[in-house]
Structure 1
Amino acid sequence: MQIQMIPEIGHFALVIALLFAAVQAVVPLAGATLRRPLWMAYARPMAAGQFLFVMIAYAALTASYMLNDFSVVNVANNSNSMLPWYYRLSAVWGNHEGSVLLWSLMLAGWGYFAVRYSRELPRDMVSRVMSVLGMVSVGFLLFILATSNPFERILPNVPQDGADLNPLLQDIGLILHPPMLYMGYVGFSVVFAFAIAALIGGRLDAAWARWARPWTNLAWAFLTVGIALGSWWAYYELGWGGWWFWDPVENASLLPWLTGTALMHSLAVTEKRGSFKSWTLLLAITTFSLSLLGTFLVRSGVLTSVHAFANDPSRGFFILMLLGITVGLSLLVFALRAPRVSHKVSFNWLSRDALLLINNILLVIMTVTVLMGTVYPLLLDALDLGKISVGPPYFNALFVPLTLVMCIFMGLGPVARWKDTSSRLLIQRLWLAAVAALVLGMALPLIFAERWSAPVALGLIAALWIVLPMLRDLVDKTRHASSVGAGLKKLSLAYWGMQLGHLGVAVTIIGVAVVSNYNIERNVRMSVGDSVSVAGYTFTMQELTSRRGPNFLADRAVIEVQRDGSRRSFTMNPEKRLYIARGMPMTQVALRPGLFRDLYVAMGEDLGDDSWAMRVQYKPFVRWLWLGALLMAAGGVLAVADKRYRRLATAPDPEDAAAAANGKADDKPREATA
């Protein structure tokens, strides 16, 4: 085998990128402190250089995979000559070393684009932001070079073939899920850097919030899509038919999403009213810290999960140090500098300000609930105080009621005014929506299902309570226009983004409530000719066949499905696969998706006598879970496209400045809260 020099190029590129990141971390910050314009000017070229060389390193690792260079340990452990090219491409980040390199690439990329689209901001602010991002990059590049080198060689005894990618990861989910999730995780680093820069510089105003909001919304949208893709992947890949298992690694991605949601809304108040400044800064620090905590949980080996990559204690200790330094220094800066940027603005407890604050507090409580349930068993184990398991009953018992309480305030928010809202006005605007939500929520389960379910009714009431006040607010904002079309055109993209995001929450709640309570599952023994009826569908095994894939052997069942009372039928083909290189069996689920229901068939074990254990499920409204997440993400992206964020001015609009100074704000449609 001819040994390529590509890995050495990649390793050298990482060293150069580390040097660029070190200069970016030190020189611009020193320039901003000493007022040296030349030193501050280093921020942009250092960010561009770091991004370029991390890209070269990532391209080198990708090339090693595509060329089947099994002299590289990373390639030998996670690829195989029979592996299809698209799985080789995703195998680059399907392991610990490659995934951390992808994280560093995205971190450098976010930094590069942040500095590129901040030319109208004050130079000292940009310098501080890029220095903070440079410090984070130094930490991760040192982590790669010291403990997680993806270019380590196996010489001279190069294996003839690789061990293959874990069959669980040989799926389109690996191609889509990690990059989206990392884009969300790493995207919050920009807002974190801007928060620390604001604390150091003592400047946090409406212009700061206006600049930070699009980056927050964009990172949150990526994270939302990443979590949804992970849920969708687990749903069909693991063969259990579940969509969320409260797995510790799943929780690790949920934590920054919750605080990121709170951060988006807190930034809206900071921009519009000049309040919640310290709270906004603390949320920005917390959200990125939780992203780092998720990295520690996945890569330290403290968790046993199908999602976890690493089990090397030295790696876990390094990330724990990085997490401790980041959180410790950030909170120290916050404690010393936050009083300089804080500002009190009065409001009553029925105003939009107060409702957003209450929802923020609820989101933080939900975060603490999930964090304690995830970390507490690890702490007990680490202190030799015993082993306990915290599962779905704990999370559902606390998380679900908090979500329902939050929905109450979500319904109030769109129709409330900034600073001051009377109870009479709220009752006048919302009594009809409340009655309609209650009546429809109680009646709809009787229409769409054979049995009435209190949890489903409660979920529908909560979802309708979110949607109907939004419709009332839309009517109020277009009532005085010359026509409906003219009124709708006057509404800002940020407003439509808020509406779409809240609609996504409602759709997700409906999906969760219905599929969790009306799901039907049958575990049966089937051979050719056997039938089973589930939810009005008859599943008949017509044939058992075998086939060979590119790197696996499979037993396949041909299942004919016919709906009761219909003459038309269709086939479903679940498989039981054996991956050749690893000798690992896998279940390939057969799905018949639909907007209002999924049919789900999974093959279990071979029971002998040409019969198989089969799991047949009817899952109503399960697609609404991911549809809601996509609507939420689309709302975040739509808000970013608002014209206010395409002209990131260095000073606030006169109207906004006056509003912040006077503690007032109007009720124009452009004042979207998220």
Structure 2
Amino acid sequence: MSGWTLAVAVFSRQVPADIVARVLAVMGMVCAGFLAFILFTSGRSPARCRPFRWRARPEPLLQDPGLIFHPPLLYMGYVGFSVAFAFAIAALLSGRLDSAFTRFARPWTLAAWVFLTLGIVLGSAWAYYELGWGGWWFWDPVENASFMPWLAGTALLHSLAVTEQRAGFKAWTLLLSICAFSLCLLGTFLVRSGVLVSVHAFASDPARGMFILAFMVLVTGGSLLLFAVRGHRVRSRVNNALWSRESLLLGNNVLLMAAMLVVLLGTLLPLVHKQLGLGSISVGEPFFNTMFTWLMVPFALLLGVGPLVRWAGTGRVTSGRCCSPPWSPPWCCRYFCHGCWKIKSSP
């Protein structure tokens, strides 16, 4: 967290000083929250501190080179979304969200998204050969905890592009920035509190989990309250054409957030059901696969058509072709998913 704050302070010299001051102030308050978490839940008095000694070897699952890369990359992505969150709060406080503002925030959001993507991919590869599940993804609750902010971050990147290019989707950009960081806090709570049973959960403490939950409620609730009070000052007044890149990106965001809500529901429903004394239920792979099939089919169509459609008022298509070439990113994504499915279905 301190590293991201230092990076913003050093590499944002072209950003207006008032914006940088607000961004650093918000990140400083988030840092203070995590510092309080360390001091009040993990701190010890100097008299009780003892020299560190190895008592035993790590668990067999952790005796792997993946431990060196997967957790740091994952948490770099988690913490990196605090920069987008800080920019959103700064925009609400200043009452201004223009293309220059989003141009400053977009590289930081992309960096956090890349770190989170690499962490998820390395974690999937690690689980594939270490756990022997026979696949790359099995909708484990801890996997879902990192997948939810990834979906919100992907939608945020698209919203930032629209805000930068066409001064639209301002409310989407602000809410997705808040949502992405809040989901990162939720993922940390689910993993570290012990409320979920998972093969990925190695360290859990209910006291620490309650602190993270309280911090998440404070951050999310305060941010949404600020948006409710000052959000009208930065909302866009642009009316998008029905057939335009903006409209397709809006559909893209709706599908991504619907997918995020499906994952959130499937992850939290067993926990809520048990806490209410209604017994234990299991939401497994069939539910997620069925729901994502309905959501990802139109999403895949938007992946191919969206890049060919121009912004509103500039024409329909960028070229005479009606579909993307087979080496384009949408097709590469489809090849990858098909290959993973073949590996999983093979005996």
CA displacement 1:6-40 (0-9 Å, x = unmatched) = xxxxxxxxxxxxxxxxxxxxxxxxxxxxxxxxxxx
Q: Give the length in aligned residue pairs.
A: 347
Report matched runs for 1:418-433 at 5 Å. 418-420=311-313, 429-430=321-322, 433=323
Q: Is 2:121 aligned against 1:228?
A: yes
Tell me the TM-score normalized by structure 1: 0.49
What corresponds to 2:29 in structure 1?
A: 135
Please point out which of 124, 128, 133 is paired with 2:18. 124
Structure-to-structure mapping, 1:652-663, within 5 angstroms: none
Query: What is the CA–CA distance in structure 1 between the aligned matches of 2:331 and 2:96, rounded to whole Å?
Result: 35
Q: How far apart are the structure 2 equivalents of 1:200 and 1:360?
A: 25
- Structure 1: unaligned runs, 5 residues or longer: 1-106, 434-465, 472-498, 521-674
The one-letter amino acid of 2:175's match is L
Q: Does residue 244 of the first structure (1) align with residue 134 of the second (2)?
A: no
Partner of 1:394: 287
Larger relative helix fraction: 2
Q: Post-superposition shift, 1:209?
A: 1.0
Q: Which one of the candidate residues 148, 168, 172 is aligned to 1:275?
A: 168
TM-score (norm 2): 0.94
> Per residue, is there more strand in 1 or in 2?
1
**1:612-655 deviation line (CA, Å, top 9, x unaligned):** xxxxxxxxxxxxxxxxxxxxxxxxxxxxxxxxxxxxxxxxxxxx
**Are 1:287 and 2:180 matched, yes or no?**
yes
For the 8 Å contact 1:173–1:233, the answer to whether it is kept is yes
Q: CA deviation at 1:311?
A: 3.1
**Distance in 1 between residues matched to 2:92 and 2:139, nearest whole Å:** 36
Which amino acid in structure 2 is aligned with residue 364 of structure 1? M
Unaligned runs of 5+ in 2: none
Structure with bigger RCO (C-alpha 8 Å, 6+ apart): 2
Write out per-residue CA displacement over residues 91-146 of structure 1, whole angstroms, 9 at most, x where no aligned residue: xxxxxxxxxxxxxxxx1100100111111211111111011101111111111111
Q: Distance in 1 between matches of 2:44 and 2:197?
A: 23
Distance in 2 between residues matched to 1:512 and 1:169, nearest whole Å: 25
- Aligned twin of 2:91: 198
Tell whether the 8 Å contact from 2:83 to 2:108 is kept in structure 1 after alignment: yes
CA separation of 1:161 and 1:258: change in aligned 2, threshold 3 A: closer
Q: Secondary structure at the match of 2:321?
A: helix
Q: Secondary structure at the match of 1:402?
A: helix
CA contact (8 A) 2:134 2:344 kept: no
Relative to structure 1, the CA distance from residue 399 to residue 153 in structure 2 (aligned partners, 3 Å threshold; closer, same or farther) is farther
Which residue number in structure 2 is paired with residue 595 of structure 1? Answer: none
Cα drift, residue 413 of structure 1 = 0.7
Conservation of the 8 A alpha-carbon contact between 2:135 and 2:344 = no
Alpha-carbon separation, structure 1, partners of 2:62 and 2:344: 26
Matches within 5 A, 1:362-401: 362-401=255-294
Q: Conserved in 2, the CA contact under 8 Å of 1:266 and 1:276?
A: yes
Q: Which residue of 2 aligns with 1:403?
A: 296
Among 108, 117, 121, the alignment partner of 2:2 is 108
What does residue 41 of structure 2 align with?
147
User: Is the CA contact 1:347–1:420 (under 8 Å) kept in the aligned structure 2?
Assistant: no
Instruction: State the structure with more CA Rg.
Output: 1
Letter in 2 for 1:218: A
Query: What is the percent sequence identity of the aligned residues?
Result: 54
Contact preservation (8 Å) 1:182, 1:223: yes
C-alpha distance in 2, partners of 1:167/1:150? 29
Partner SS, residue 145 of structure 2: helix
Superposed CA offset, 1:443-479 (max 9, x none): xxxxxxxxxxxxxxxxxxxxxxx644xx7xxxxxxxx
CA shift digits 1:72-105 (9 cap, x unpaired)? xxxxxxxxxxxxxxxxxxxxxxxxxxxxxxxxxx
Equivalent runs, 1:120-519 vs 2, <5 Å: 120-149=14-43, 161-420=54-313, 429-430=321-322, 433=323, 467-468=325-326, 502=330, 504-517=332-345, 519=346
Work out the CA distance in 1 between the residues paired with 2:52 and 2:197.
29
Distance 1:298 1:151, change over 3 A: farther
User: Kindly tell me: are residues 159 and 109 of structure 1, through their superposed partners in 2, closer, same or farther at Cα, counting changes over 3 Å?
Assistant: closer
- Tell me the secondary structure at the aligned position of residue 223 of structure 2: helix
Deviation at 1:373, TM superposition (A): 0.1
Q: Kindly state the Cα deviation for residue 346 of structure 1 after the two structures are TM-superposed.
A: 2.3
Distance apart, 1:313 and its partner CA: 1.6
Could you tell me how far apart the structure 2 residues matched to 1:126 and 1:160 are? Answer: 43
Q: CA deviation at 1:310?
A: 3.2
